[in-house]
Amino acid sequence: MSTNSATADPAGRRLADTLREAVSKYGLIAVLLALPVYLAISDLATDGNLTDLGNNLVLGLSNGAIIALIALGYTLVYGIIELINFAHGEVFMIGSFVAFGLWGTFGLTEGMAVPGMIAGLLIAMVIAMIVCGALNVMIERVAYKPLRNAPKLAPLITAIGMSFILQNVGILWLGSSQSSVPDLIDQSNDLVTVGGVVINNGDVLAAAVTIPLVFLLTSFINRSRLGKAMRATAQDPDAARLMGINVNTTISMTFLLGGMLAGAAGLINLLYQTSIWYFQGFQAGLVAFTAAVMGGIGNLKGAVLGGIIIGIIQQLAEFRIGAEWTAVVVFTYLVLIMVFRPQGLIGEETREAG
Amino acid sequence: MSNLLENTPLKGKENLVVAAVALGIAALLPLLFDPLSLFIDNFILAAAYVVMALGLNIVVGFAGLLDLGYVAFYALGAYTVGWFASDHFSSVNGGKGLHVLAEAIPPEFPGIHLNFLLVMVVSVIIVGIAGMLIGLPTLRLRGDYIAIVTLAFGEIIFRFAINGDEIILAEGYKLTNGRQAISPIDTIDLPFFAPFDSAFSLRPFYWFCLVLVAIVLLVNFRLRDSRQGRAWIAIREDEVAAASMGVPLVKTKLLAYATGAAFGGISGVFLGSYLTSVNANNFQFGFSIFILAMIILGGLGSIWGVAIGAILLSFINSYFIPEVFNSVPRKLGLDFDLTILNFGIFGFLILLVMVLRPQGILPERRRALELTEGVGAGDAIEVRAP
């Protein structure tokens, strides 16, 4: 981006460059902190304590954990083939639908004995993960693989087409309106109260599923042979192929992992929100994508960090500004990040972000 | 068939002849139907979508900037007519209304009422500026990041449209009417013609829209073959090379956004007036994809292709799915109407076209070459199947 400033006088350019550097380095952090800091001050001024904000933060964290799981799917795929898997949100939605179907099959109901419930939910989660992983691999085969050599926008467009198809599968499956599902884990039950801040069952569940999965994923990618292949393919697909890595299998593997995480997120979301509808994936997908970009797309830690930040922002917006404006707040952040720090908080510059 | 397709990017005179014949046939078409027939209604919608698709084609097809928030410009155009040609701002001028060259409106009727052509001019200005403003943040970005930023803007504007009834600009001035819709909107009132009356005949709307399409087609051809059009195609092919050849990126891109947006705005004004209501429900993301599907189906960058794609999809959407095939699932013993699947059908069409015939029905020659022979495939992903 030096083309515009090439003719400016050196002193002015230096100032502009310093300013731009400062903005790109700290601007995003400042923008991110603006909302919570403002709310903290207004809380202190009105109630004299931060309990409300604390409650919002706890809800934001567990909400963020779910978003992080979905964001990991975006970031994994983007990291390896530089494609926004637009249908990923819909894979998450299908995960919820599969899990909900399995509850019926297993006969899980409210107030069941705890061990049976946990076993049932675990099996449902594993099956949802497998189905979503397979679905994601299939999407890659059908919609992206034939377009590897096409202009870059082509697979993005097919991804949108895929996303609409899956939404319609959702409509056919459970109708086009939002419906509530049984609250199996008594989601909003206050489990612990720390200094006025309530932590309930749903929050514990989100943490209990997300943290182990993220650790499993990172150790798989950092330690295993396939993980090594994935990292190599992400760096340079041609060189990776020359080294005897089966690039196609590796890409499929990436989609499998991303889909599995989305499936797990689908089940937690079902338990956490106690509602289900075909459109949940579109919204959550965009939010999770925002999270992935915020953290630095292609970066696993970034996706988790971004997920948590966006989760908190979303909750703050929902409780303090109004649920109908949540999307506006999240998308405004998305635009600001894209403009001022497209490489994200801890990402590196990519070709897109130039 | 293949012969016909190979000769598609017609030159000079041939183009004019084709255009004249097509427009002549199109102009006589409504005389075959009853003045209030649903077919004329379908044709009017199709023509309005052609205008929009040609606008989006400038941004996506010519300049190669994937805009997923095109619905924003439709919304802004429709709200322009909603604000300036209805009783929405009813307390303006102490309830006596503000009328500019609006002869068809009774005197002292509340609300702002501009003449229809004035509304069009205003909308071109408002929407053109909005196009540039939305384009600005994408200037440093490329490819799919542009898509996401424009998508975000589209969603933001949709939310403002939906929740606009909560935004009170001043006493009695709501931004929008949300899902309640701003209605009724003044009908089209052109100088030398009687005000159009959709209860009496749809033909005037159709002819007006046809003139609009003809103008937009002409502008599109002239633009494509102008210095500006070549600059757009150059940045689509290779931004870096174009910049180093002296194409001013910022100006070129912003002009693409503004021009494309303006067409969306014009079409929005027309549709608002024709449907006599502006409802926020119409401005969802799906609509952007509906228009995008038209230009993909027709052939990105190909003006005739895009026009045909728009007509085809418009008819699929407003005639074939709801009228012809709607009951097919029920006849097969399935418990749903086909209309609930219309976006799935568009999604499937996009997917099918992109995978099987990415150049579209009537491809632009340059793009067809790129896709089939790998010319200028610099943008391609580096991963290749062995």
Mind listing the pLDDT tens digit for each residue in A180-193? 888 888 777 777 88
- Condensed to tens digits (0 to 9), the pLDDT of residues B285-294 reads 999 999 999 9
When CB atoms are compared, the residue of A146, A238, A352 closest to B142 is: A352
Within 8 A by CB and 6+ apart from A231, the residues are A221
What does the pLDDT read at residue B305? 92
Quote the CA–CA distance of A103 and A122 in Å, as a whole number: 11
Closest by Cα among A57, A122, A65 to A265: A65
- Interchain CB distance below 8 Å, A164 and B336: no
Cβ-based neighbour number of residue B282 at 10 Å: 20
Of residues B110 and A167, more confidence is placed in A167
What does the pLDDT read at residue A122? 93
Half-sphere exposure of B379 (CA within 13 A, CB side): 25
pLDDT at B158 over 90: yes
pLDDT at B85 over 80: yes
Arithmetic mean of pLDDT over chain B: 86
Q: Which position has the token pair 């494609």?
A: A83
Percent of chain B with pLDDT over 90: 46
What does the pLDDT read at residue A353? 42
What does the pLDDT read at residue B219? 92
- Condensed to tens digits (0 to 9), the pLDDT of residues B265-310 reads 999 999 999 999 999 999 999 999 999 999 999 988 899 999 999 9
- Mind telling me how many Å the CA of B253 is from chain A's nearest CA? 15
- Mind telling me how many Å the CA of B87 is from chain A's nearest CA? 27
- Which chain B residues are within 8 Å of A352, Cβ to Cβ? 141-145
Cβ atoms of A64 and A307 within 8 Å: the answer is yes
DSSP B278: B
Quote the CA–CA distance of A303 and B189 in Å, as a whole number: 55
pLDDT at B49 over 60: yes
Counting other chains too, the contacts that B192-200 makes at CB distance below 8 Å and 24 or more residues apart are B195/B104, B198/B274, B198/B276, B200/B35
Q: What is the per-residue burial (b if ≥16 Cβ within 10 Å, else e) of B175-203? A: bbbbeebbbebbbbbeeeeeebebeeebb
Residue A296, phi-psi category: left (phi > 0), alpha (psi -120 to 50), beta (remainder)? left
- Of A22-36, A137-151, B67-81, B204-218, which gets the smallest average pLDDT? A22-36
Residue contacts between A and B (CB atoms, under 8 Å): 179
Torsion angle, alpha carbons of B93, B94, B97, B99, to 10: -30
When CB atoms are compared, the residue of B148, B379, B383 closest to A247 is: B383
Mean pLDDT to the nearest integer, B380-384: 38
User: Testing the interface with A: which of B151, B233, B351, B359 to mutate, by most A Cβ within 10 A?
Assistant: B351
pTM: 0.87
Quote the CA–CA distance of B8 and B15 in Å, as a whole number: 10
- Which chain A residues are within 8 Å of B243, Cβ to Cβ? 3
For chain A, the residue count is 354
pLDDT at A266 over 70: yes
What does the pLDDT read at residue A183? 86
- Condensed to tens digits (0 to 9), the pLDDT of residues A101-145 reads 999 888 888 877 888 888 999 999 999 999 999 999 999 999 999
- Condensed to tens digits (0 to 9), the pLDDT of residues A51-98 reads 888 888 899 999 999 999 999 999 999 988 888 899 999 999 999 999
Closest by Cα among B83, B15, B63 to B252: B63
What does the pLDDT read at residue B370? 67
Mean pLDDT to the nearest integer, B361-374: 70
Cβ atoms of A196 and A51 within 8 Å: the answer is yes
CA distances to A194, B29, B128, B333 from B158, rounded to whole Å, are 40, 36, 18, 37
What residue spans of chain B are helical by DSSP H? 2-6, 12-28, 38-56, 71-84, 116-135, 143-163, 203-224, 227-237, 239-244, 249-275, 285-298, 303-315, 328-331, 342-356, 365-373
Closest by Cα among B365, B210, B374 to B303: B365
Closest by Cα among B386, B137, B45 to A337: B137
What does the pLDDT read at residue A6? 45
Of residues B376 and A124, more confidence is placed in A124
- Interchain CB distance below 8 Å, B155 and A147: no
- Mind telling me how many Å the CA of A120 is from chain B's nearest CA? 31
Pairing of strands B112-114, B168-170: unpaired
Which pair of structure tokens corresponds to residue B154? 């589209």
What does the pLDDT read at residue B259? 95
- Of A300-309, B345-354, B369-378, which gets the smallest average pLDDT? B369-378
What does the pLDDT read at residue B12? 61
Give me the amino acid identity at A213.
Answer: L
- Interchain CB distance below 8 Å, B143 and A176: no
Half-sphere exposure of A208 (CA within 13 A, CB side): 12
Q: Minimal Cα distance from A162: which residue of B?
A: B347
Half-sphere exposure of A316 (CA within 13 A, CB side): 22
Cβ atoms of A258 and A88 within 8 Å: the answer is yes
- Mind telling me how many Å the CA of B231 is from chain A's nearest CA? 18
pLDDT at B77 over 90: yes
What does the pLDDT read at residue B373? 56
- Mind telling me how many Å the CA of A75 is from chain B's nearest CA? 14
What does the pLDDT read at residue A9? 55
Closest by Cα among B177, B165, B207, B178 to B190: B207
Of residues B8 and B149, more confidence is placed in B149
What residue spans of A47-152 are helical by DSSP H? 51-81, 88-106, 114-139
Q: Minimal Cα distance from A237: which residue of B?
A: B383
Q: Which position has the token pair 């701002």?
A: B89
- Condensed to tens digits (0 to 9), the pLDDT of residues B118-148 reads 999 999 999 999 999 999 988 888 778 888 8
Sign (positive/negative) of CA torsion B71, B291, B129, B148? positive
Of residues B103 and A126, more confidence is placed in A126
Percent of chain A with pLDDT over 90: 48
- Interchain CB distance below 8 Å, A145 and B149: no
Mean pLDDT to the nearest integer, B148-161: 93
Cβ-based neighbour number of residue A4 at 10 Å: 11
- Mind telling me how many Å the CA of B139 is from chain A's nearest CA? 9
For chain B, the residue count is 386
Pairing of strands B112-114, A190-194: unpaired
B184 prior amide bond cis, ω within 30: yes
Closest by Cα among A97, A102, A128, A103 to A278: A97
pLDDT at B5 over 80: no
- Condensed to tens digits (0 to 9), the pLDDT of residues B167-202 reads 888 777 888 888 888 988 988 888 888 888 877 888
Counting other chains too, the contacts that A27-34 makes at CB distance below 8 Å and 24 or more residues apart are A27/A340, A27/A341, A28/A294, A28/A336, A28/A337, A28/A340, A28/A341, A28/A345, A29/A345, A31/A333, A31/A336, A31/A340, A32/A309, A32/A313, A32/A333
- Mind telling me how many Å the CA of B347 is from chain A's nearest CA? 4
- Interchain CB distance below 8 Å, A143 and B379: no
Cβ atoms of A337 and A28 within 8 Å: the answer is yes
User: Testing the interface with A: which of B342, B370, B381, B384 to mutate, by most A Cβ within 10 A?
Assistant: B381
pLDDT at A17 over 70: yes
Split at pLDDT 50, 70, 90, the class of B6 is very low
Pairing of strands A179-180, A275-276: antiparallel
Within 8 A by CB and 6+ apart from B154, the residues are B68, B69, B70, B71, B72, B285, B288
Quote the CA–CA distance of B73 and B59 in Å, as a whole number: 13
- Interchain CB distance below 8 Å, A332 and B370: no
What does the pLDDT read at residue B1? 37
- Condensed to tens digits (0 to 9), the pLDDT of residues A304-354 reads 999 999 999 999 898 888 888 999 999 998 888 888 788 888 766 554 443
DSSP A243: T
Q: Which position has the token pair 């026009």?
A: B307
- Interchain CB distance below 8 Å, A286 and B354: no
Within 8 A by CB and 6+ apart from A62, the residues are A202, A203, A205, A206, A207, A272, A311
Half-sphere exposure of B177 (CA within 13 A, CB side): 19
- Which chain A residues are within 8 Å of B348, Cβ to Cβ? 161, 164-165
When CB atoms are compared, the residue of B145, B155, B250 closest to A331 is: B155
- Interchain CB distance below 8 Å, B351 and A161: yes
When CB atoms are compared, the residue of A150, A332, A352 closest to B156 is: A332
What residue spans of chain A are helical by DSSP H? 10-46, 51-81, 88-106, 114-139, 153-174, 201-223, 225-235, 237-242, 247-273, 280-295, 300-316, 326-340
Q: Collapsing DSSP states into helix, strand and coil, what is residue A50?
A: coil
Looking at the DSSP assignment, which residues form a beta bridge with residue B173?
Answer: B170
